[in-house]
Amino acid sequence: MILNSRALALLLALSISVITSAFLSLLPSISTTALIVSFALSFSSSYILVRLVLEFIFFKEITSIYEALDKIRSEELSPILSRSRNAVNPLRLINKGIESYARTKQREIAELKEMEAFRREFIADVSHELKTPIFAAQGFVHTLLDGAVEDKKVRTKFLKKAAKSLDGLDILVQDLLTISQMETGEIKMHPEDFNIEEMIKEVLDQVDGKAEKREIDIELQHLDVPLYVLADYQRIYQVMTNLVTNGIKYSKKGGTVKIFFEQEDEHVTVFVQDKGLGIPEEDIGRIFERFYRVDKSRNKGKGGTGLGLSIVKHILEGHDSKIEVESEEGVGSKFWFKLRLGKVPEYELLNEDDD
């Protein structure tokens, strides 16, 4: 900047003194010495004057504008353009500053609009999903109040149906809470070392009733050595429950769900594979979105909230991992994810030696 003001002052002073000397040289009586002296005087005085004006009025002002812009930009942590002030024209720097500021603002407005659209869509989805179980339960209760309560058989049947709808509502609200807490970062992962095979056995005990009802055979790969992972036990339990439950839900009666592992140096991959309905190619990219269901009609009576895979995705992202899928309609689906291997405790190693 100083360099620029100096160059400009030099240029202006030179022009002024050349013009003054040119005029003076027109006088017939003027000597060469007087011309040189007047050139030197006009050059130095105009140089000082111009320099002072530029430095203290013009450039000072520009510097303060630029500094103000700088402050605004750094406060917003926006990407700051390169600012080798000495080398660049200050006016161009201001222009660039304003441009970058405007671009940041534009980006923020676009993000806010996107968030607003997301919020509106979320509220619409939630209201729609809540409506189904509430309306169903409401219908059964009103029918009972309208007289059906007198008939013992109808009463029990309708109360059971109302209870089922309310149970569904409870699961939906819990899932919604989990999703919203995960999206706002409220849920933190608490990694610990645990035996993944043992944990999956517990999941299978829990879903056993569902599998039996649909005559689904669940096969869990048996491992000769204990397999420990470093992960959040509760959350991975949830992931496995969702994947295995889906495997059961979307399998034909009498189908099979297989769970197996693949170990690498530092990771283990857990697979959940079924030979069920499969997922059409055009839906695969969307099944992890909240409330996305492949084909509403085929999901009828399966009791899902449409949030299971979205929760799975969030949990695995919280483990710096991701959920992957391969599926073919009518053939089956395979879901898998990686986890970091954990430390096998001493007592497990001792047990092994005993064997």
Following CA atoms 78, 79, 85, 88 in sequence, which dihedral angle do they give, to the nearest 10 degrees?
-120
Q: Does 200 bind ligand ADP (CB under 6 A)?
A: no
Q: How far is the CB of 339 from ligand ADP (least distance, A)?
A: 20
CB of 336 to ligand ADP, least distance (A): 12
Residue 315 tokens, joined: 């949990």
CA dist., res. 149 & res. 143, Å (int) = 8
Answer for which of 238, 308, 316, 342 binds ligand ADP (CB under 6 A) is 308
For ligand ADP, the nearest residue by Cβ is 304
Distance CA 239, CA 36 (A): 91
Q: What are phi and psi of 84, to 5 degrees?
A: -85, 85
Question: Is residue 248 within the footprint of ligand ADP (CB under 6 A)?
Answer: no
Q: Which residues contact 165 (CB under 8 A, 6 or more apart)?
A: 133, 134, 136, 137, 140
Cβ at position 111, least distance to ligand ADP in Å? 26
Nearer to ligand ADP, 42 or 333 (CB): 333
- Contact segment (CB under 6 A) with ligand ADP among 7-15, 19-27, 185-193, 245-253 equals 245-253
211 scored as a contact of ligand ADP (CB under 6 A) = no
Nearest approach, Cβ of residue 243 and ligand ADP (Å) = 7
The two beta strands, 332-341 and 323-328, are antiparallel
Q: From the list 50, 240, 294, 341, which residue makes contact with ligand ADP (rule: CB under 6 A)?
A: 294
Helix residue ranges per DSSP H, the chain: 2-25, 32-53, 60-75, 90-145, 152-183, 196-213, 233-249, 281-284, 296-299, 308-317, 346-354
Span from 130-138, 156-164, 222-230, 304-312 in contact with ligand ADP (CB under 6 A): 304-312
Contact status: 133 vs ligand ADP (CB under 6 A): no
By CB under 6 A, name the one of 4, 304, 315, 338 that touches ligand ADP: 304
Residues 6+ apart with CB under 8 A from 154: 148
- Residues for the chain: how many in total? 355
Taking CB under 6 A as the criterion, the residue among 65, 299, 318, 344 binding ligand ADP is 299
Q: Which stretch binds ligand ADP (CB under 6 A): 121-129, 182-190, 276-284, 342-350?
A: 276-284
Task: Find the part of the chain contacting ligand ADP (CB under 6 A) among 116-124, 149-157, 161-169, 243-251.
Answer: 243-251
Q: Which is nearer to ligand ADP, 101 or 288 (CB)?
A: 288
The secondary structure element, H or E, covering residue 259 is strand 256-263
Q: Is the dihedral of CA 307, 313, 317, 320 positive or negative?
A: positive
Q: For 1, which DSSP code?
A: -
Q: Which is nearer to ligand ADP, 5 or 333 (CB)?
A: 333
Count residues contacting ligand ADP (CB under 6 A)? 22
- Residues of the shown chain interacting with ligand ADP in the complex, contacts defined by CB under 6 A: 242, 246-247, 250, 274, 276-279, 287, 292-294, 299, 304-310, 333
